[in-house]
Structure 1
C-alpha cells in the first residue's frame, strides 16, 4: 500500500550515500554558464554548493556540454565543472577547477562573463 514511500526513501538514501561533501543551500544565487570556448550558454541559479560541486537550476531548457564554466555573480568566482547529472532544469556538477575569483583569470572570454551585460558575437 505504501510502496511509493519506500521507493522514495530508497532513492533518497542512495543519493545521500553517493554524496561525499555536505551541501549548503545558497538561496538561488545568480550565475552564468559558458562553454570552454568562452561562448555564453545561459543564465542559471546556484541552488546548493559543496566542496565538491554545485547544484544549478537553469533558466531555460538548453543542452549542456560535458565540461563548462560557471560564473557565480554574487561572489565573482569562476569554476570549471563537469556535468554529473541532469533532470529537466536541475543539474549537478562537480568541480574540475575549484572556484577562484574572476580577477585571477587573464582569459578575456571569462572576464566578459563578469560584465553586467554579456553580449554574444554574431
Structure 2
C-alpha cells in the first residue's frame, strides 16, 4: 500500500503535474501538418499527459496546439500506452496568431 505522506519514488517528473479539465489539443508535425486530435489530461511546466481521440502513428517530435489557451509547444513523446501519451515540453512557441 502506498503511503500518501511519502513522495512517489517511481515519479520521475521534475515538476508537479496538475490535473486539468480535459482541454482540446491538436498534434502537428514540426512542419505544421495536422496529425491528430487529443485531450490534454495533466500538465506541468515540463510535460503533459495526452489522450488521443483515435489510434495514430506519430513521430516522436511534434507540436502541441492547446486550443484552450491558444498556445503552441514543441513536444517530444517519452511514453505511450495505447491512447495515452506522455510528453516533455521542449519549448513554448508562444501564442497562436489569429
TM-score past 0.5 threshold:
yes
Superposition misfits of 4+ residues, deviation over 2 angstroms: none
**Structure whose alpha-carbon radius of gyration is higher:** 1
Give 5+ residue unaligned stretches, structure 1. Answer: 7-11, 104-113, 115-122
The CA distance in 2 between the partners of 1:92 and 1:66, in whole Å, is 11
Between structures 1 and 2, the one with greater helix share:
1
Give 5+ residue unaligned stretches, structure 2. Answer: 3-7
Q: Aligned-pair distance for 1:21?
A: 0.7
Q: Of the two structures, which has the highest relative contact order with CA contacts closer than 8 Å and spacing of 6 or more?
A: 2
What's the TM-score once normalised by structure 2's chain length?
A: 0.87
Alignment-derived partner of residue 82 in structure 2: 88
What's the TM-score once normalised by structure 1's chain length?
A: 0.70
Between structures 1 and 2, the one with greater strand share:
2
Deviations 1:29-86 (A, max 9, x none): 0000100121111110000000101110000000111100000011001000011100
1:38 aligns with 2:29: no
